[in-house]
Structure 1
Amino acid sequence: MRKVLWVLSFILLPVLGYGVFVYNQTLRQDIVIIGGGFDGCAAARSAAAAAPEKKILLVVNDPVQELGGIGTAGGQNFTDIRYWRGKVVTQGSFGRWYAKAGQFYNTGGLAQIIKEDLAQFPNIKILYGYDIEDLVVQNNTIKEVRLRSIARQPSGEVAWGESTQRIKGKIFIDATVDGRLTRLSGNPLSVGRRDWPRQYLPGDETSFSRQQAATLMFQVTGVKTPPKNAQIKDWEFVRDARGSWGLAGGKQVFAANPQVIAFNEKYGPRGFAIKPINAASNGKDSNTWWVNCLLVFNVDARAHERDKGSKRYPADTPPGHLNVDQAWVKARQFLQNPEFIRTLREFKVQDPVTGRWYGFGEAELVRDSRGLPVVGQILYIRESVHSPLSQQTDYGTENTNFAVTTEEARGAGADSQGADAENHPARIGLGYYMMDINAFIPSDLKAAGSYRWPVTGHLRPDWLEAGGEPVNPVYLPYEALLPAKAENLLVPGYAAGISSFAWAELRVLPNLAVLGDAAGVAAARSLAENKSPRNFSREDITWVQKKLQQFGARLNK
């Protein structure tokens, strides 16, 4: 009998990123991080550095074998930074990676930079391609997560595999893009823009709440750039310090080009649209570019094909919604429509001095061995859920029920005297970008009466009247990492305690890395003091702040 059991256990060994474990045994870790994006990787690094004697497990819950999430496997290689007084304020782990990779980078190269950064710490273990299938929660404390392998099928959907792993942990960190750990462990969540004032929402948005449009990144060749950095009309062509090109532009084409307008009129009601473009070459001297321009509407980031028929699939999805797998498959298929590439080629600009055309006039899709467009392995999700301070998740709570409110983000001060002043004592980093909404429904693209980009101002005229874009970075408080109920959970990912409109600024990857650093250090402190993260004292938070600064984070304006 013992021999039979030994043989079975050997056959059922699942493969991990660093070794093997018998599937029916329990792996015990001190800190368990779910999510392999910038936030999860930053959390792992900072936790490992702050607690070198503790065991850290990083679970990459995407069907990939690399680190970096949307910023690497997802193809989003145009780093969304905004300088404040001539400097990038998002430092710490992101600052180190940015210094090595540049603003526009080869995605595989950045994944390797992050991997090598984490490899310095022998107490970090990485498990690739597993997601939460179930978990055990007792008295609002997560005791165990039960993982199962996942893999993308030839058809495009991500399916469960055969390998399983039970993980017991002391502190858990949710760095997922769908708030999966926070949601499945029973914490209240505000979906999408549920917290907006009711008067700015469509009349049908009552029993459900929409999330920002998603995007599938794709590759092209044939992009034309000027010989040196240039601003031509509304197009900006920039070569970063490491020699890689990035470009942003096309607002006038989006608003006035007859072919682009006709395309969006035709396909917007079908759930797809082309917006003005951000794109970056896949590293120095590469003629391959990753392009961010395809909006995919009505995607529910919480919903996955593999969860259908189970309690994991959300019950309050929007009518006619696409789950993440359906959206990925349909978007890749949509890219093959000949009208798409013809319309993309309209995004070009003529230099009035030389007469030369730059941009996408000669663009061609890059295709794989099966003739399919090369796309991001991960859908670029912009929004999913947000952790409120209480069980209240209704309309009009954006300035009352979140650790980072809409007004704090928009009205942050140049010092500790702005709308975010209350966040200053417990600050764990700075967040900064534009409040950039990429539309919720196709009609948002012409809510101003005609096609106009960006859409933020005409979706929220109150914001525009109050002054529009943030002028200063916002203090990110420690409380933003805490869900409403769980005692041993920290949330630096998409489910952080940030209102939907504030999230429009803080959703970009550098800001998430800042939150990840803080979560990792806070987890280390929690273990050292044998104290729930929810019960931190002023002394505990001061310790976290000092440790973060030792690790290169910027906490002060």
Structure 2
Amino acid sequence: MRKILPVLLLVLLPLLGYGLFALSQVLRPDVVIIGAGLDGCAAARSAAAAAPDKKILLVVNDPVPELGGLATVGGQNFTDIRLWQGRLVTQGSFGRWYARAGQFYNTGRLAQIIKEDLSRFPNLKILYGHDIEDVVVQNDLIKEVRLRKVIRQASGKTVWAENRQRVKGKIFIDATPDGRLTRLAGNPLSTGRRDWPPQFLPADEREVARQQAATLMFQVTGVQTPPRPAQIGDWEFVRDAKGSWGLAGGKQVFAGNPQVIAFNDKYGPQGFAIKPVNAASNGRDSRTWWVNCLLVFHVDARAHDRDAGSRRYPSDTLPGHLTTDQAWQKARQLLQNPEFLQALRQFKVQDPASGRWYGFGEASLVLDSQGRPVVGQVLYIRESVHSPLRQAAGPGSENTGFAVTARQAQGAGAAAAQGADAGHYDRRIGLGYYMMDINAFCPGDLKAAGSYRWPVTGHLRPDWLAAGGEPVNPVYLPFAALLPARTENLLVPGYAAGISSFAWAELRVLPNLAVLGDAAGVAAARSLAVHRTPRRFTGADIAWLQQKLEQFGARLDK
């Protein structure tokens, strides 16, 4: 009889609807954050600080046991900041981490800075290496997320492991780069640039639109820098306050160098291209640099190999799309092609004063113990999905269907009662600021002006140039940007925030996402305190939120 009972339990439990999840422990935190990029870490920190009597759980949904996401394990250590009137407007959690790490930093050091910061809060726990396998929703409320362990195979493919974990919470925060929780909870979403004016959308993108190209960061040595910071041609060599180097340049090389043109002509149709370079040393005095220059096209950020055949896999993908696993593997393989390094070495500039060459003329790839290029452990996703205000947000809705519109981002004012964003002032939860930096959506975009030209924003959206070009002022970020269309107890500071695709071109950079993360964490604390879901917040709730954010060091005013 003792031998029969366990067998009967294994047979009966799935039939009763419990499945393997019934056999796992149930965690019951008050706030659950999925995703541990700067947005998720900021949300966790702010929630823990604002609600010290509540339990906060941060779920790292990458197969890497470190915090920071793209900013750390992804290798994107060139911090995209833009000063306004000589000052940094993205304060709060990001401002604290930035002050310690610098603009160009050692990725492991930043991960440690964030971990030390979050460890100050005994009510905050971290669960590493688990992703969402299922979501239980009742009456537009998330009741439970069902997590499962993820691991990366030697090939680079991320797969499910056996360990499962049930988590029942009260408030949930989606800080994933693919809007995974928002999507699986049943909220309507707009993929990629589908909300663009129809005259700027290719014919095959009226129903399902492309997302901006992804990138795989990689490491090199042998980068040559001048003795001191300098502007040489279209290249800028700078050092941050910590003494670390960063560089940006190569537009002329991209547009005119025969080897680079030949590489992009050959590999563009295969879904890859080299763009002008951003790169940063991996901390002060490091000879190793992280490089951002390899575009990977046709990636659907929602699509992961481990979800194939399940409802988690998107049903509206474009023909020929790549999963994130396929893109990561193919990009790493391309780096090993000798033609890639030959093209990369063309990104150099000669100083007319000294005659010396600087840049990547002598660069070499850093290889791991298996002889493979050292790359970011997660793909640099630039765009995935956007949360509309209502159910429908098709072509032409970028200025009507979202909490932050393209017009508001481009035409933000210099003060409270000025500009296209003035209506957000009373419900502002932070400031967002950068250039409206579109990366290409398909290889043809690189030559849409008739020949290779960078950046692509102007020739993809000539109406933007006619309206004034780059934003002059920061945009007020409204509380509504954190709200999905349907789910009551979900806040979205990540990629699926309520921001139109073209406005996202400005707000997608990590400092802006951390600002949204701070607001989501404090809003979660307020929701628990007043027993009111974020969608039901009153003016008094928003005022409390604003006061608490400023207390935590956020900047809300221009």
Q: TM-score, normalised by structure 1?
A: 0.96
Instruction: Give the structure 1 partner of residue 479 of structure 2.
Output: 478
How far apart are the structure 2 equivalents of 1:305 and 1:444?
A: 28
- Is contact 1:131–1:148 with CA below 8 Å preserved after alignment? yes
How far apart are the structure 2 equivalents of 1:22 and 1:348?
A: 59
Give the match's secondary structure for 2:65.
coil
How far apart are the structure 1 equivalents of 2:115 and 2:22?
A: 25
Q: How far apart are 1:135 and its partner, in Å?
A: 1.2
How far apart are the structure 2 equivalents of 1:115 and 1:189?
A: 32
The reply on whether 1:414 has 2:414 as its aligned counterpart is yes
Give the match's secondary structure for 2:156.
coil
Matches within 5 A, 1:80-229: 80-229=80-229
Aligned length: 544
Q: How far apart are 1:207 and its partner, in Å?
A: 3.1
Instruction: Give the structure 2 partner of residue 512 of structure 1.
Output: 513
Matches within 5 A, 1:361-376: 361-376=361-376
Instruction: Give the structure 1 partner of residue 489 of structure 2.
Output: 488
- Is contact 1:23–1:165 with CA below 8 Å preserved after alignment? no
The reply on whether 1:390 has 2:390 as its aligned counterpart is yes
Aligned partner letter, 1:203: A
Matches within 5 A, 1:194-343: 194-343=194-343
How far apart are the structure 2 equivalents of 1:542 and 1:548?
A: 10
- Is contact 2:206–2:395 with CA below 8 Å preserved after alignment? no
Aligned partner letter, 1:172: F
Structure 1: gaps of 5 or more residues: 7-20
How far apart are the structure 2 equivalents of 1:100 and 1:422?
A: 35
Q: How far apart are 1:67 and its partner, in Å?
A: 0.3
Q: Residue by residue, what CA displacement relative to the aligned partner does 1:51-75 show, whole Å, maximum 9, x if unpaired?
A: 0000000000001000000000000
Aligned partner letter, 2:484: P
Instruction: Give the structure 2 partner of residue 525 of structure 1.
Output: 526
Give the match's secondary structure for 2:242.
coil
Q: TM-score, normalised by structure 2?
A: 0.96
Q: How far apart are 1:461 and its partner, in Å?
A: 0.2
Q: How far apart are 1:206 and its partner, in Å?
A: 2.6
Structure 2: gaps of 5 or more residues: 7-20
Instruction: Give the structure 2 partner of residue 61 of structure 1.
Output: 61
Q: How far apart are 1:3 and its partner, in Å?
A: 12
Instruction: Give the structure 1 partner of residue 439 of structure 2.
Output: 438
Give the match's secondary structure for 2:206.
coil
Mean Cα deviation higher: 313-322 or 197-206? 197-206
How far apart are the structure 2 equivalents of 1:278 and 1:466?
A: 28
Give the match's secondary structure for 1:294.
strand
How far apart are the structure 2 equivalents of 1:291 and 1:63?
A: 22
Instruction: Give the structure 1 partner of residue 18 of structure 2.
Output: none
Aligned partner letter, 2:112: Q
- Is contact 1:481–1:515 with CA below 8 Å preserved after alignment? yes
How far apart are the structure 1 equivalents of 2:198 and 2:5?
A: 60
How far apart are the structure 1 equivalents of 2:474 and 2:263?
A: 37
Q: How far apart are 1:208 and its partner, in Å?
A: 1.6
Aligned partner letter, 2:358: Y
Q: Residue by residue, what CA displacement relative to the aligned partner does 1:183-233 show, whole Å, maximum 9, x if unpaired?
A: 000000000000000000111213321000000000000000001110000
CA RMSD in angstroms comes to 1.5
Give the match's secondary structure for 1:414.
coil
- Is contact 1:178–1:302 with CA below 8 Å preserved after alignment? yes
Q: How far apart are 1:393 and its partner, in Å?
A: 2.1
How far apart are the structure 1 equivalents of 2:2 and 2:543?
A: 54
How far apart are the structure 1 equivalents of 2:442 and 2:2?
A: 60
- Is contact 1:145–1:168 with CA below 8 Å preserved after alignment? yes
- Is contact 1:94–1:514 with CA below 8 Å preserved after alignment? yes
How far apart are the structure 1 equivalents of 2:355 and 2:2?
A: 80
Q: How far apart are 1:155 and its partner, in Å?
A: 1.3
How far apart are the structure 2 equivalents of 1:537 and 1:149?
A: 39
Aligned partner letter, 2:365: L
Q: Residue by residue, what CA displacement relative to the aligned partner does 1:91-123 show, whole Å, maximum 9, x if unpaired?
A: 000000000000000000000000000000000
- Is contact 2:212–2:382 with CA below 8 Å preserved after alignment? yes
How far apart are the structure 2 equivalents of 1:427 and 1:227?
A: 44
- Is contact 1:279–1:290 with CA below 8 Å preserved after alignment? yes
